Structure 1
């Protein structure tokens, strides 16, 4: 810095000091917000004035970071009433009251405390801002602490009690109070509430469940929820959510995000990027209020969440999807099929606001019912598997609409025949996150201007701005590429894998042209690396928490080493790209080989044996207790010798090995046809869910019948096919005259008579034991492996 600018900077400081009239033992000035801060002793947290808009500041606490604009804010005093960027201050008065003053005129926030002794303010290593009352020769007492007044975040060991609630931010770029709340209800259950401009509704736990369903309990002596330092979030109603990196000492927080989801975030100390290590709601479109009235929420792993108006409706405000859609026609009570058409919207459901529920109604009866009810603006017609009836649900409002391909049912909207009935996606909004900050208008009492001071301030600001621009240009030129290298270095040090560049992997896959697999988490391509190794290269979908999945999968596989588990060679973490590089399995998936009849009986037996050995390692031998949660033929890969490797841990879960009644799963996981009954009936999830799925896979290998075949028959009242497959095999065994005869009736006809009857009977018997309805009747995977090994 030049001597002239130093003189002007000194002059500026001197002028400001002359104009400040300190009237309290402690004060922070917004005009000196870069330096007027409070640091915790471990320097992990900073408190001070945080910019939230143009000339708008809040007093906040954030994780210490070099660039304040990108810091993670964990608490705000005045989130709904920012103060001016001039003459605003935070002051601790001698009376013991901590106050925030806007432009030296209005008190916008205070602790409303009083002390007769010597009060002081301290930011603890936990991130808790504490106002103490210090007495001579006595221990101090706490007058006030920020932990008692959370905003949208809980820090480790910070309690959420019956008198508190978390309130989300309005958007990613707007810190003011949003529409979502996490709190304890009067029934002692921790709940998530959408508090919208017009309506409010609870959306978690699932509102159709009674209070004590899903392992929750209303019989609590206290109402408290807390995140421990190791990554376990637990509440007194028996809800538990564990981070995928549970057990590791990391920086952590629980935040109710602006999209209505509660997530656990974690990162290593010193890093800038957070990873999502757990979240309460796994289905983004099941969160109420996301898309507004008369619109449908859909979710795609590439583009994320999207809202679309239903046919015949258009956006109220195409810049804000929460306002929903309005009809393009005049509603009428006098409706007939001659004047109205019924628009069909498949796989869509709108939660709530039913005029009633009408069982055993045909589609035509439902049409007549809705057209005859003035309040009906649409209806749900769906088939209930549990009772074999078609139900009709006429709706008075179309709220909380969501599309799901797994939903067996359809929605119907009556529209005048002259109305454009196309699905309105021209103005569909994709959840991009930020909402532009608005400049706040305030009426201040104008003081008498000092012309000379104003001139010096403007002149000094000009010089400072010029120097800042020059500094930024030099900094960008020198360090523009260092971020990615630093991130790659940290990840490489943590995992020991090879770090690949994106261009290197793009070249290896010939522009990602040879797709060999696709799933919810990403797409897999075949590639040849620079050292001529053939690899399976998995590109994670960035819009589906790609970085979180990346870190979880690297963390899981990095700690695994077994011949029957997929091996990973490296990764790419460059910009927005998150890519995993696996060893290539020449013979692809078990599903592909079963459909091609490439497997004789000995290969099938060895695949069952090797898969059991790999799962036994996951459940009982590795350092963490890992549940796969999605065992199916598509996730069992075969090498050149048809040796199996278990792959795709995108749905895995790390749990405590001694917690046999773990209930930390917040949603159903897995694939239809292979899922254990525990998922459906909200029973405790243990390693036996993998045992059940394994049993279904083995039955599929034995019989050649897929549990997904004939799923459409559900609509005709038939039970799910995987139940029929199990029941069919059980019945054959029960009715078999001799031990071997029943096996002959269930074995895949493609095998003919070319199999060992005794081994096939062992395999089929073990598979039936694995799919027992009662989890306690199922063997462990190590027992399965021992049984099959003894029979081989």
Structure 2
């Protein structure tokens, strides 16, 4: 008996990665787990699951649950703060005395909370099935099974109130673009919801529900995987694992590439094997499934993979430009025959270089039929706002364009063209280039250059945009606004400065976009600044809009300051910051209030800048001096009194000197 016990203990210590001295079975009121102690975690009674801090980047951590067994990579099944990581110093998971479980960082910012309240005895424990549960006596106050991320464990239901959201990439655990959820018609669906387009890809959108083997008449909306490997949904989706049977560890995951996979742990190789898959490999590719190795993607003949780390991008044609590399080039592909290359044209009169810059073609009028054909009947939506919807298109001269279809305007054509004559004359390296327009009947469209990297909002919450790039983006945006306010022939207010309206070209140089909310003002009419309604976006709007005060260029200055704070901290101004008050109670503050308080509270730059800095910025490579300068400029820009705010020309001078 003693020998068997010793063997069991030896297996336990070699198979699972936790030092027993710091592995807690539960947390009670007032106790916490610290990010700085890598041996601080919760363990399930059967030892299969562990909960603790997991590194998601340089000095960035999320509280997560994973399979305890040592594999090649830690298998994460749940994350509390996947989109808001905390830093690696002084961050804690704490069960407060009021019954609230919170995740806070060094600046006492609450990144995540259960928002529970209890005056009774409460405890947090990790169950044998991987469910993290906050209990009050025999009652469950909160559980991780009710808020899944990208994975379902056996016995964990997917309901009308929950959904799976994939991670962004294999090494980026933040929310991605693929979602699994019950739609309003009671059908379980897989959807790609990207920054440019959204589409259903399971069940096939061209099939009626009954044709896809689904039913819409059961409104219970529940789906569950059992421990044997059988998945069943209320809309009649059902499947079994290839290795169906008891005693196997399993997980059902919506992976970053959009594939919905049922994994089983192979007891021989100690690795995860896909035992069922609903696969997608992207355009111009083939998808095959092998029970032992899972999905395999391959390109059609004549095509090559676009992105080796993400097959969702599919494949692109294999071609080479048979032109003298010193000559300007243009590549033309047949839009209606995507599988074939129609023609290769070398011409010295039209320019397409590697960084997608073009010789100025001139501001011109397009017919509605031209733009309808260029956008393939307005088929690829890449953005939308209050003034209209933007589509991607290819013009007859092979330039890629962004075509904005404005909402039906009340302007007659003469008024529309009068405003366009002003906008069309704007020319600055940090303003998006407007190539033309369409005004036919009620149709009003604008044609812009297309920028590869999308908006600042799409790029801000990833590690690509480092501190140097953020400073250059801030400077370029300021120069563009200074031109609009003071240098162009007509005075133009933007009125909707936000990260979504700062676009990035192939070199991540910023260009201001979307003048749909702007007011064109002649300098002689500065004192008559009347707007019929509030304009802008919540969180970025200057107080003048609410106070019914005269609207000047200082509304753009205020919005620009808010954008700077978001660029430095990584926090959205639409969300309040939860922090601790003087008496230890939780209080909510706006982003501006929080930053101003942090700066005033500590005279040492390195102290306050570390506390407010975006965790995604590399702490060892970050230029904290420039980030501190952005914060100081931002706080000048967001002064309540518009007369105290600097002009955009002064902002540019402050950033340069």
Regarding TM over 0.5, the answer is no
When normalised by structure 2's length, the TM-score is: 0.42
Task: Point out the structure with max Rg over C-alpha.
Answer: 1
Give the helix-richer structure, 1 or 2: 1
TM-score (norm 1): 0.35
